[in-house]
Amino acid sequence: MPGISRGGSDSAIHPAVACHNRMTMKLLRMKPGHGEIVLAEGDVEVAEQERELIEAFRRELDAGMWAAVPTETTDGRREAELVRSFAEIPRDAERVIFFPRAAGGASAGESGTAREAPPGQVPPVERHACDGSR
């Protein structure tokens, strides 16, 4: 095939081959009983594909999902960092995982008793006394 090297001493990297190996970003949704579902996949360096990734990202956030970028620490421990906008995602991230917020409880607008926590802290737990009667 013209333009593609098959190895040997005359092998060279051609633009068509180099583009083939570009890293793509995958947007994945965690679905109980199904594992990861691919929502979108594309190259953030290609404007049209990046636009599609951004639109898919916004759709998931608008649907109430949380987004996290998996990371690995220097000691090999796996973690994930929550992101709130596409701009917060590292350009070299391979995956962004969407998952539903925890169910249960009432939001502040529903009960009026939920309290806001300072940024970076978990809100306090509401505790109620039980008298044991049923």
Helix intervals (H) in 1-134 = 15-20, 47-62, 108-111
Which residue would you say has higher pLDDT here, 109 or 33? 33
Query: Does residue 119 sit within a domain?
Result: no
Query: Does residue 110 sit within a domain?
Result: no
**What are the tens digits of pLDDT across the range 61-104?**
999 999 999 998 888 888 999 999 999 999 999 999 999 888 75
**E-only strand ranges, the chain:** 25-31, 35-42, 65-72, 78-83, 95-100
**For the ranges 5-9, 71-75, 115-119, which has the lowest average pLDDT?**
5-9
Number of domains in the chain: 1
pLDDT at 33: 85
Query: Does residue 128 sit within a domain?
Result: no
Q: How far apart are CA 95 and CA 97, in angstroms?
A: 6
pTM strictly above 0.75: no
For residue 94, what is the domain's CATH number? Answer: 2.40.240
**What are the tens digits of pLDDT across the range 41-69?**
999 999 999 999 999 999 999 999 999 99
Query: Does residue 52 sit within a domain?
Result: yes
Query: Does residue 132 sit within a domain?
Result: no
88 three-class SS: helix
Query: Does residue 92 sit within a domain?
Result: yes
Query: Does residue 5 sit within a domain?
Result: no
Query: Does residue 7 sit within a domain?
Result: no
Containing domain of residue 34, as a range?
20-101
Which residue would you say has higher pLDDT here, 11 or 81? 81
